Structure 1
Amino acid sequence: MVDDYGNEKTTAMIGTCIIKDLGDGRLSYREDVKIEGERMAFREFTYKLDGKKLHVEFADGHREGEYVCLDFSEQPVAMADHHCGDDVYAHEMAFLSANNWTTRVSVRGPIKHMVIRTTYYRAKDDEQFDET
């Protein structure tokens, strides 16, 4: 769900997230979503675990470097900020169970003013995503 305060609208999204083990201590992450009334969109990151820290790096070819580093030392919830020009992305990730987690990204700045909330569920082996 995207609450776009700058454009005064709320938009639903549905999609898939595929996480693959790269075999070198890193995971590839790809998210494909259909944005209600709009187009398909995607994000790609590389995840690297370092103890209880999760380093999230851009992997979409448009940006490079670290997006955020989330520290899960104290609890299964972590927050970190990413600066993109004058906009700040406040990223929060919470693990609810082995099969379910959420993210909340609050974007504030002169360009964007929105909150993106995503809930992830592990798919059953026979589930497929329908883009229609």
Structure 2
Amino acid sequence: MSDRPSVLFVCVHNAGRSQMAAAFLHHLSGGAIEVRSAGSEPADQVNPAAVQAMAELGIDISAERPKILTDQAVRESDVVVTMGCGDTCPFYPGKRYEDWQLDDPAGKGVEAVRPIRDEIRRRIEMLITELVPSQESAPPEH
């Protein structure tokens, strides 16, 4: 087990919201937080509009593949963020659970995905300051 905090993002298809959230957390935390994502019913591929929306910000998720949600992934995570997966996510006492109500980008064009992407980024930035507060306030090293 790592001493870094770990976060699991879960949505139904693991093709849009959870993939964008995982990519933002990995990118913005600089590796200070362990990141996982999964879906209760994984799609065949990541949503192309989500890939395009993230690429606009210089984050490449084109090589990511949707993964099935496992009990082990939940057990190994400190924080579980669900995004519209309902009751399919296993519950373990002692875990921090958050349910983010976000529009599903499935079947939408990049114009409709951008506001979802931007809201996910805002929430990820808040999550980072909660999980790794020293990262925000640490003085720069010389």
Higher relative contact order (CA 8 A, sep 6+): 2
Which is helix-richer, 1 or 2? 2
Which is strand-richer, 1 or 2? 1
TM, length-normalised to structure 1: 0.26
TM, length-normalised to structure 2: 0.25
